[in-house]
Amino acid sequence: MKILAPLNSPEETEMLLANGAEELYCGLVPEEWVARYSGAIWLNRRSPAGGNLRTFSDLARVVQQAHGRSVPVFVTLNAQTYTASQLPLVLDLARRYVEEASVDGLIVSDPALILELAKQDLPCALHLSSIAASLNVAAVRFFQSLGVRRVILPRSLTLAEIGRIACEIGSQIELEVFILNDGCIFEEGFCLTTHHRSVGAFCVGLARMDSQSFKLSGAPWASGEEEEINTLLQDFHRRIDALTNYACSARPQTALPLAPCGLCAIPAFHRMGISAVKIVGREASSLRKLASLRLVRAVVEKTRNGALEEAVQGYAQTLRESVAPCVPGEMCYYNAGATTNRSHLRESAGRWR
């Protein structure tokens, strides 16, 4: 099980390699894309300005350094969809990523792009982005038949659901899972909104909308019913805040991520034969990337060293407790450590609300 870390600058490569990154991923949005589509239409799932490299020479530098340590580099081309008019440029970029920069894999989502890339027969792997929302074994098999080598499973899947996929098809295809930073209240692959700064993420913006609930029957509210619905809406907003990393904040002293994670599930993923655990946040500061990587690496190493599952989970929760509320349902992707007694942590979670 490899640790996959994000970057958005060649200057971060050495730092990440030296601190245990075993695979790297990044995006590159060149000037020709920006000239045609500005910042409104994203080539991949991050804005051109924030989460991406800007030149092929930068990408080549990243790959060269990574390959010097036998670490592969994967590049994102994972927009929800590309139109027929965008595709020639996207295919040209894919070819240049591979031929000019020697990247090892492309992270893709759109079936039409996958089919076109398969025809190009580029010497690189195709990894299926979580944006493709492969939620079941048959979906994994479908994309495998299109030539995908690895499937990144959406973080909306439970541990048991991932376990079933791993059990039934994990021996035939690489599986990757999310492990740290940023969640999504919606299924990314079915969220057809923009995160562009002019309006912000739709989910985060809900808290600023004028909202009113109704009973579909048209009947009047029962006593306390409307208040209950309004409280539910507030809880929903708070959950979105937590998942989206409190609008991408971090504690300034340490830069450790105040964000959801799946650290407690690492022993289970190890046992399932998961190929890679992914740290989210190409756009994050270098310091936050480093802190995230160290956090994941500490738990992965404990697992690799044969520590018991409960001990690893306790260790992970202790690491998290110092920086963020480690509470089931609050900051968890997978709720793997839910059986551990963490009631004392719920109290501390209140500090963050």
Partner 1 sequence: MEWAIHVADGSSLAHCDDFLSCQPRRSELPLSDLQVAAADVVQRVAGPVRPQRAYLGNEFCQYLIPARESFSKVCRELWERGLAITFLTPPVTDAGLDKLRPLFAWLASQSNGTEVVFNDWGTLQVLHEEFDVLQPVRGRLLNKTMRDPRVTPLYNAPDAPEGIRASMQPGELEMPSLQRLLRHYGVETVELDILLQDSTSDLRRLPFQVAFYFPYGFVTTGRQCMTGALHLEESERFRPMQRCQRECRLYLTEHRFVGTTLPTDGTVFYQRGNTFFYCPNTEVLERFLLGAEARGVGRVIYQPDLPM
Minimum CB distance to partner 1 smaller for 227 or for 310 = 227
Minimum CB distance to partner 1 smaller for 70 or for 85 = 85
Stretch that binds partner 1, among 15-23, 45-53, 135-143, 263-271 (CB under 8 A): 135-143
Distance in Å, CB of 215 to partner 1, minimum: 6
Binding of partner 1 by 353 (CB under 8 A)? no
Enumerate residues 145-184 that contact partner 1 by CB under 8 A.
146, 156-158, 161, 164-165, 184
Task: Give bridge partners of residue 4 from the DSSP assignment.
Answer: 23, 278
Minimum CB distance to partner 1 smaller for 13 or for 82 = 82
Binding of partner 1 by 70 (CB under 8 A)? no
Out of 218, 224, 306, 350, the only residue in the binding site for partner 1 (CB under 8 A) is 218
Where do we find the tokens 């075993």? 22
The values of phi and psi at residue 128, to 5°, are -85, 120
CA distance 297 to 56: 29
Cα 344–chain centre separation: 29
Binding of partner 1 by 266 (CB under 8 A)? no
Enumerate residues 74-103 that contact partner 1 by CB under 8 A.
80-87
Where do we find the tokens 């021996």? 171
CA distance 256 to 287: 8
Distance in Å, CB of 261 to partner 1, minimum: 16
Out of 70, 212, 223, 305, the only residue in the binding site for partner 1 (CB under 8 A) is 212
46 and 82 in contact (C-beta within 8 Å)? no
Distance in Å, CB of 78 to partner 1, minimum: 11
Stretch that binds partner 1, among 47-55, 92-100, 136-144, 281-289 (CB under 8 A): 136-144
Binding of partner 1 by 112 (CB under 8 A)? yes
Minimum CB distance to partner 1 smaller for 56 or for 142 = 142
Minimum CB distance to partner 1 smaller for 18 or for 118 = 118
CA distance 75 to 172: 23
Q: Please, what sign has the CA dihedral across residues 34, 36, 41, 45?
A: negative
CA distance 107 to 94: 10
Out of 121, 123, 171, 209, the only residue in the binding site for partner 1 (CB under 8 A) is 209
Where do we find the tokens 């809900």? 206
The values of phi and psi at residue 171, to 5°, are -80, -15
Out of 327, 331, 336, 345, the only residue in the binding site for partner 1 (CB under 8 A) is 327
Which residue, among 325, 318, 326, 296, has the nearest Cα to 4 in the 3D structure? 296
Minimum CB distance to partner 1 smaller for 69 or for 215 = 215
Which residue, among 312, 345, 318, has the nearest Cα to 329 in the 3D structure? 345
